[in-house]
């Protein structure tokens, strides 16, 4: 019977999906799921949801909840992390509002850029604290990390801990389904090979298989890339009769320039490169449908809807529907427990997997999972222009990790200095002043070593 610990279980919707995924496997239906969070109210809601899932599926799983992290981790077989340090207020607000004063606009700010750097400074120390607890309380457990900034966290763990870990994101499989939908193709017929770094992995192959017939789909993607204005995803009608939505124009544009389709969404990708968000160029924002401040808006909508959602989830008379998600976590646990092999896309130390990226960086590649654990698939060399693009992001990741592990404040400046979007917008004095202001605003949420 597996003991599966959720750290950050107050992320109720995500926890609900993962619990449903895990307990839908008959071989995992008698697991113990331990929910941990520092927010007692949200933790209680997730616990209620967990018991509802058990009841809906008619399984014998045990649901426990605790605010004591060490108590939760003791004897764990699997640890799933899904937390955010600092929350929307104050941290996310700080990450957006202070850069905006300097003329630096962002969309999501959780992976790269000055927002991603600050999130890394806040989150890496907490993640390493969890790893130290695991080394003492459950040294053989597998850590499945869903927390951003993914590459920075996995890189830091590989340098500072012996805990086995894999970083999990849904961008690879979700984008494959989205592309299939764009092309009017059944997603179950899609086959692909993808590699790179988190949020900047590319489909090296994207095909459709029907029986023994395999068709390269890149020519059809190329046709679609030439269609403008690009249709939006998730359109929502406004009161004035117009529509708001998220455009895919950025990554279709990048496909035209690079010849390969990137896994991460346009709103994310636009802030990883220097070409789309530029002060004084609102025409670029309009042409590519780039939603500045998208993440704060999402947070505000979630906060506004939380109480009504919580009421529905806790309603004792309401039935809870369990639908299998596309997340990899449950499948990994199932394969480790049963030996049934499956391939997932995960974030792991490079160690020669991609030969033209740094050996110690974190890469996102196919991994075979079975009873022996996780075995990344060797990719070899990526197309050189893709590797060059990824290196610009790897530089920022590397310096942020270095800053935390060495305590050297100067590497925070260096990380921001080499960030592609920041460097395209600000001069060196502005970057130094921006970092100083961000560090001061985050004091108490990042290590004191940066202020000594």
Task: Measure the CA–CA gap between 188 and 222, rounded to whole angstroms.
Answer: 21
Q: Please give the C-alpha separations between residue 268 and each of 200, 288, 324, 326, in angstroms, as whole numbers.
A: 10, 13, 26, 20
SS3 214: strand
Under CATH, what is the fold of the domain 89-105+168-292+327-452? L-2-Hydroxyisocaproate Dehydrogenase; Chain A, domain 2 (3.90.110)
Is the model's pLDDT at 102 over the cut of 70? yes
* pLDDT at residue 245, as a whole number: 58
| pLDDT of 248 higher than 50 | yes
Label residue 247 by pLDDT band (50, 70, 90): confident
Is 414 assigned a catalytic role? no
Lowest mean pLDDT of 63-67, 166-170, 318-322, 353-357, name the range. 318-322
Q: What percent of the chain has pLDDT over 70?
A: 96
β-strand partners of 244:
236
What are the tokens at 244? Answer: 């708001």
CA distance 248 to 263: 11
Burial of residue 360, with CB atoms counted within 10 A of its CB: 0-12 exposed, 13-18 middle, 19 or more buried: middle
Identify the three-state secondary structure at position 369: strand
- Domain positions in the chain: 89-105+168-292+327-452
**Annotated active-site residue in 51, 170, 174, 177:** 170
Q: What separation in angstroms does the CA of 197 have from each of 84, 350, 382?
A: 21, 10, 11
Q: What is the pLDDT of residue 452?
A: 80
Q: pLDDT for 40-65, tens place per residue? A: 999 999 999 999 999 999 999 999 99
For residue 243, pLDDT over 50 is answered with no
Residue 239 scores a pLDDT above 60 = no
C-alpha–C-alpha distance, residues 452 and 448, integer Å: 7
Angle, helices 93-101 vs 113-137, to 10°: value is 150
| Residue range 19-40, pLDDT digits in tens | 999 999 999 999 999 999 999 9
Inform me whether the pLDDT recorded for 238 exceeds 50: no
140-164 mean pLDDT: 98
Q: Give the other-Cβ count within 10 Å of 51's Cβ.
A: 14
Distance in angstroms (rounded) separating the CA atoms of residues 105 and 110:
13
Average of per-residue pLDDT values in the chain:
95
* pLDDT of 242 above 80: no
* Element spanning 53, H or E: helix 40-57
pLDDT grade for 246, boundaries at 50, 70 and 90: confident
Q: Which residues pair with 201 in a beta bridge?
A: 196
Residue 430: C-alpha distances to residues 48, 99, 165, 450 (Å): 49, 10, 37, 19
Residue 395 corresponds to which tokens in the numbers above? 């530089």
User: How many C-beta atoms surround the C-beta of residue 308 within 10 A?
Assistant: 9
Give the model confidence (pLDDT) of 314-328 as tens digits.
Answer: 998 888 999 999 999
Report the DSSP beta bridge partners of residue 233: 246
DSSP state of 74: T
Mean local confidence (pLDDT), 132-150: 98
Cα separation, 312 vs 314, whole angstroms = 6
Q: What does residue 226 show for φ and ψ, rounded to 5 degrees?
A: -95, 10
State the pLDDT at residue 165: 98
Counting every residue written for the chain, the total comes to 452
CA distance 440 to 416: 16
Question: In this predicted structure, what is the pLDDT of residue 357?
Answer: 98
pTM for this one? 0.95
Tokens at 412, concatenated: 């925070």
Pick the more confident residue, 230 or 151. Answer: 151
């Amino acid at each position: 019977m597996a003991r599966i610990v959720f750290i950050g279980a107050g992320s109720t919707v995500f926890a609900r999906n993962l619990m449903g995924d895990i307990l839908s496997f008959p071989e995992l239906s008698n697991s113990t799921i331990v929910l941990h969070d520092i927010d007692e109210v949200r933790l209680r809601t997730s616990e209620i949801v967990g018991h509802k899932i058990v009841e809906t599926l008619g399984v014998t799983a045990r649901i426990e909840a605790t605010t004591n992290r060490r108590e939760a981790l003791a004897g764990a077989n699997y640890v799933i992390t899904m937390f955010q340090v600092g929350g929307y207020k104050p941290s996310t607000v700080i990450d957006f509002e202070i850069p905006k004063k300097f003329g630096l606009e962002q969309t999501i700010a959780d992976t790269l850029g000055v927002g991603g750097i600050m999130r890394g400074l806040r989150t890496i120390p907490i993640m390493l604290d969890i790893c130290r607890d695991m080394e003492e309380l459950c040294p053989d457990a597998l850590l499945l990390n869903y927390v951003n900034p993914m590459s920075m966290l996995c890189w830091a763990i590989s340098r500072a801990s012996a805990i086995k870990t894999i970083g999990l994101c849904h961008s690879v499989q979700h984008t494959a389904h989205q592309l299939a939908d764009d092309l009017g193709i059944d997603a179950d017929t899609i086959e692909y090979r993808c590699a790179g770094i988190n949020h900047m992995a590319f489909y090296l192959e994207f095909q459709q298989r029907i029986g023994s017939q395999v068709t390269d789909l890149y020519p059809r993607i190329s046709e679609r890339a030439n269609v403008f204005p690009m249709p939006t995803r998730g359109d929502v009608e406004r009161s004035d009769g117009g529509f708001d939505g998220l455009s895919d124009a950025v990554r279709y544009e990048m496909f035209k320039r690079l010849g390969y389709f990137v896994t991460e969404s346009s709103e994310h990708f636009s802030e990883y490169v220097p070409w789309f968000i530029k002060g004084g160029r609102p025409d670029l924002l309009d042409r590519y449908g780039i939603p500045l401040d998208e993440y704060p808006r999402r947070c505000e909508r979630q906060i506004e809807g939380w109480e009504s959602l919580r009421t529905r989830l806790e309603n004792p008379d309401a039935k809870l529907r369990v639908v299998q998600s596309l997340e990899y976590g449950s499948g990994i646990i199932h394969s480790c427990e049963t030996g049934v092999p499956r391939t997932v896309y995960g974030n792991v130390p490079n160690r020669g997997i991609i030969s033209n990226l740094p050996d110690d960086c974190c890469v996102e590649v196919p991994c075979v999972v079975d009873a022996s654990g996780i075995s990344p698939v060797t990719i070899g060399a990526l197309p050189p222009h893709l590797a060059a693009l990824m290196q610009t992001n790897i530089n920022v990741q590397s310096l942020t990790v270095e800053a935390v592990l060495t305590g050297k404040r100067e590497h925070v400046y260096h990380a921001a200095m080499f960030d592609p979007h920041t460097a395209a917008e600000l001069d060196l004095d502005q970057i130094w002043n921006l970092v100083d202001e961000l560090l001061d605003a985050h004091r108490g949420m990042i290590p004191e070593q940066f202020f000594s």
